Chains A and B, each alone.
Chain A
Amino acid sequence: MAKFSEQQMKEFQRLVNRYPEGKQKSALLPVLHLAQESFGGWLSTETMDYVADLLQLEPIEVYEVATFYSMFNTQPVGKYMFEVCQTGPCMLNGSDEIISYIKEKLGIKAGETTPDGMFTLKTVECLGACGYAPMMQLGNNYREHLTKEKVDAIIEECRNNAARNN
Chain B
Amino acid sequence: MGVKLLLAKAHIEGIRSYDVYRREGGYQAVEKALKTMSPDAVVEEVKKSGLRGRGGAGFPTGMKWSFIAKPEGVPRHLVCNADESEPGTFKDRYLMEHIPHLLIEGLIVSSFALGSNNTYIYIRGEYAWIVDILEKAIEEAKQNGWLGNNILGTGFDCNIYVQRGAGAYICGEETALLESLEGKRGNPRIKPPFPAIKGVWDRPTVVNNVETLAAVVPIINLGGEEYAKIGVGRSTGTKLISACGNINKPGVYEIDMTISVEEFIYSEEYCGGIKNGKRLKACIPGGSSVPILPANLLLKTAKGETRYMNYESLSDGGFATGSMMGSGGFIVFDEDQCVVRHTYTLARFYRHESCGQCSPCREGTGWMEKILLRLENGHGKMSDIDLLWDIQSKIEGNTICPLGDAAAWPVAAAIRHFRDEFEWHVLHPNEAQVRNFGLAHYADPLQVPAGA
Query: Which residues from chain B contact A125 at a C-beta distance below 8 Å?
Result: 87, 169, 348-349, 352-353
Q: With CB as the reference atom, state the residue of chain A lying closest to B122.
A: A29
Whether A68 lies near B126 (C-beta < 8 A) is no
Binding-face segment, B60-68, B293-301, B308-316, B338-346? B338-346
Distance (Å) between the CB of A141 and the closest chain B CB? 6
Q: With CB as the reference atom, state the residue of chain B lying closest to A29.
A: B166
Given A87-B346, A89-B87: A128 and B185 interface contact (C-beta under 8 Å): no
Whether A71 lies near B345 (C-beta < 8 A) is no
Query: Which residues from chain A contact B167 at a C-beta distance below 8 Å?
Result: 69-72, 124
Q: Tell me whether B42 is interfacial, beta carbon within 8 Å.
A: no
Q: Tell me whether B260 is interfacial, beta carbon within 8 Å.
A: no
Query: Which residues from chain B contact A109 at a C-beta distance below 8 Å?
Result: none
Whether B345 lies near A87 (C-beta < 8 A) is yes
Q: Count chain A CB atoms within 10 A of each CB in B183, B245, B250 and give the residue with the most.
A: B183
Whether A92 lies near B88 (C-beta < 8 A) is no
Q: Tell me whether A162 is interfacial, beta carbon within 8 Å.
A: no
Q: What does the 1/0 interface line of A58-88 toward B look like (CB < 8 Å)?
A: 0001001100111110000000000000111
Of residues 1 through 51 on chain A, the ones whose CB sits less than 8 Å from some CB of chain B are: 18, 20, 23, 25-30, 32-33
Whether A92 lies near B166 (C-beta < 8 A) is no
Whether B129 lies near A140 (C-beta < 8 A) is yes
B129 interface neighbour in A27, A72, A130, A141, Cβ under 8 Å: A141
Whether B201 lies near A27 (C-beta < 8 A) is no
Q: Tell me whether B181 is interfacial, beta carbon within 8 Å.
A: yes
Question: Roughly how many angstroms separate A65 CA and B345 CA in the complex, as a whole number?
Answer: 26
Q: Tell me whether A93 is interfacial, beta carbon within 8 Å.
A: yes
Distance (Å) between the CB of A102 and the closest chain B CB? 18
B182 interface neighbour in A23, A92, A132, Cβ under 8 Å: A23
Query: Which residues from chain B contact A141 at a C-beta distance below 8 Å?
Result: 128-129
Whether A130 lies near B244 (C-beta < 8 A) is yes
Whether B125 lies near A69 (C-beta < 8 A) is yes
Q: What does the 1/0 interface line of B196-219 toward A look like (CB < 8 Å)?
A: 000001000000000000000000
Query: Which residues from chain B contact A93 at a C-beta distance below 8 Å?
Result: 244-246
Whether A25 lies near B182 (C-beta < 8 A) is yes
Q: With CB as the reference atom, state the residue of chain A lying closest to B171.
A: A69
Q: With CB as the reference atom, state the residue of chain B lying closest to A87.
A: B87
Whether A33 lies near B125 (C-beta < 8 A) is yes
Distance (Å) between the CB of A139 and the closest chain B CB? 8
Query: Which residues from chain B contact A87 at a C-beta distance below 8 Å?
Result: 87, 288, 345-346, 349
Question: Roughly how many angstroms separate A159 CA and B392 CA in the complex, as a whole number?
Answer: 47
Q: Tell me whether A133 is interfacial, beta carbon within 8 Å.
A: yes
Query: Which residues from chain B contact A27 at a C-beta distance below 8 Å?
Result: 183
Given A30-B164, A33-B166, A70-B166: A130 and B185 interface contact (C-beta under 8 Å): no
Distance (Å) between the CB of B181 and the closest chain A CB? 6
Whether B183 lies near A29 (C-beta < 8 A) is yes
B interface residues with partner A (beta carbon < 8 Å) = 75, 84-90, 93, 118, 124-129, 161, 163-169, 180-186, 201, 242-246, 250-252, 288, 329, 331, 333, 337, 341-342, 345-346, 348-349, 352-353
The 6 A-B residue pairs whose C-beta atoms are closest, nearest first, are A28-B183, A69-B166, A131-B250, A70-B167, A71-B167, A25-B183
A interface residues with partner B (beta carbon < 8 Å) = 18, 20, 23, 25-30, 32-33, 55, 61, 64-65, 68-72, 86-89, 91-93, 124-133, 137, 140-142
